[in-house]
Amino acid sequence: MVSHMRTRTGLIQVYTGNGKGKTTAAIGLGIRAVGQGLRVHMIQFLKGGDNFPQYGEITLIERLPHFSVEQFGLPHFVDPKKISVEDQRIIDKGVKRARQVLTDGEYDLVILDEINVVLKIGLAKLPVVLKLLEQRKEGVEVVLTGRDALQELIDIADLVSNITEVKHPFTKGVPARKGIEF
């Protein structure tokens, strides 16, 4: 067993773009961190609920020591033109939880999955998220995932990966496949 160690400098990473693999890349980083003795927590926005597909990566994460996940989403896709009171409530709850996780120092790596989308569609406000990042405990690494990252996040990030779709089977009518897309 690898002994626990803290990262010396907690950086901000952004995984964005229209390509597949942003969440998967963040989870891969989380697995690497756990393998080196770090503690990881992922907050997933816009994902969750009983009717949503059970994501294969969540099934695995639940078995890993020192890697936890919480979902703040309802069992439907959010229409940016028809945001419900329930959608806003659960995102507010997730942002509040993110504040706690980033500031309490329990975790070395915090993944805010789909936070870029949440910001883009207005379910969270940029000044609030910027303040969360500024107030995080020293040494906490944070990864922000999702399409359409706001320029302000890109500007403050230490690492930005733009994952670009070149080709996807969905465009040929291939539906999402269990174990591959979810």
Boundaries of domain holding 86: 12-172
Assigned domain for 115 exists = yes
CA 181 to chain centre: 16
The answer to whether residue 181 sits within a structural domain is: no
User: What pLDDT, on a 0 to 100 scale, did the predictor assign at position 2?
Assistant: 45
1 band by pLDDT with thresholds 50, 70 and 90:
very low
CATH number of the domain that 22 lies in? 3.40.50.300
Least confident of 12-21, 45-54, 55-64, 154-163: 45-54
pLDDT tens, position by position, 105-152: 999 999 999 999 999 999 999 999 999 999 999 999 999 999 999 999
Total of domains in the chain: 1
* Lookup: tokens for 168: 């996807």
Residue 143 β-bridge partners: 13, 111
Residue 177: inside a domain:
no
Mean pLDDT of the residues in the chain: 90
Nearest to 12 by CA among 105, 100, 139: 139
Cα dist from 36 to 4, 8, 57, 73, whole Å: 8, 13, 19, 30
Question: In this structure, are residues 105 and 140 in contact, taking their beta carbons and an 8 Å threshold?
Answer: yes
Q: What is the mean pLDDT of residues 27-51?
A: 90
Is residue 109 situated within a structural domain?
yes
